[in-house]
Amino acid sequence: MSNACAFAIQALDAFDAPRIAAHLLRLAPEDRSARFAAGLVTDTTICRYVGSMRFGHDALFGLVDANAQVVGLAHGCVFEVQGRSRIEAAFSVDDGLRGLGLGTRLMRALDAFASVRDMAAVVGLCASRNLAMRRIFERAGMQLTRADDEVHAMRCLQPLTGHGPVLSGRSGKLACRG
């Protein structure tokens, strides 16, 4: 039985590309589809994806085991909306290590990354049947919106200046500053 504490979370850089690829290539076809929101995800697609990672720009955190193997990955893709950064979160954990809270730990690492950089929001996307991923988003305080068979998750972050979120539009829904 694996102990969740036996895994460290590390920020990854370009030197880690081979062990990131090894982790993603271990994912079963259905997990690849869930992770990349795509039909068939081939080995070539995964290698191309790893080759295009923006180390030093995006958030890339790995769960690393005692043998220095990457057994889980959080990729927070940074993008700009109206001059402020947001992060789009995507996760994967090795099949045999699920249900131990590792995905939740990766989500916390991305949250911390976004907060420290004063980002406007954390967003995510998963299939509506992906109950584990939905639960992770929920526990991170994200608001979930269902659109057909997808779930969009979003949480606005408080600006470090101390100003709170704003209410906007006729619906009065919470909107992110910036």
Ligand X SMILES: CC(C)(COP(=O)(O)OP(=O)(O)OC[C@H]1O[C@@H](n2cnc3c(N)ncnc32)[C@H](O)[C@@H]1OP(=O)(O)O)[C@@H](O)C(=O)NCCC(=O)NCCS
Which residues of the shown chain bind ligand X in the complex (CB under 6 A)? 31, 34-35, 90-93, 98-104, 126, 130-133, 135-136, 139
Task: For ligand X, give the closer residue by CB, 117 or 139.
Answer: 139
DSSP string covering 129-163: T-HHHHHHHHHTTPEEEEETTEEEEEEEPPPTTS-
Task: For ligand X, give the closer residue by CB, 85 or 104.
Answer: 104
3-state secondary structure of 30: helix
Rounded to the nearest whole angstrom, what is the least distance from the CB of residue 160 to ligand X in the complex?
Answer: 27
Task: For ligand X, give the closer residue by CB, 34 or 154.
Answer: 34
Rounded to the nearest whole angstrom, what is the least distance from the CB of residue 38 to ligand X in the complex?
Answer: 11
Task: For ligand X, give the closer residue by CB, 107 or 119.
Answer: 107
Rounded to the nearest whole angstrom, what is the least distance from the CB of residue 171 to ligand X in the complex?
Answer: 27
Please report where in the chains the tokens 């699920």 appear, as a residue: 98
| Secondary structure of 70-135 as H, E, C letters | EEEEEEEEEEEECCEEEEEEEEEECHHHCCCCHHHHHHHHHHHHHHHCCCCEEEEEEECCCHHHHH
Rounded to the nearest whole angstrom, what is the least distance from the CB of residue 70 to ligand X in the complex?
Answer: 13
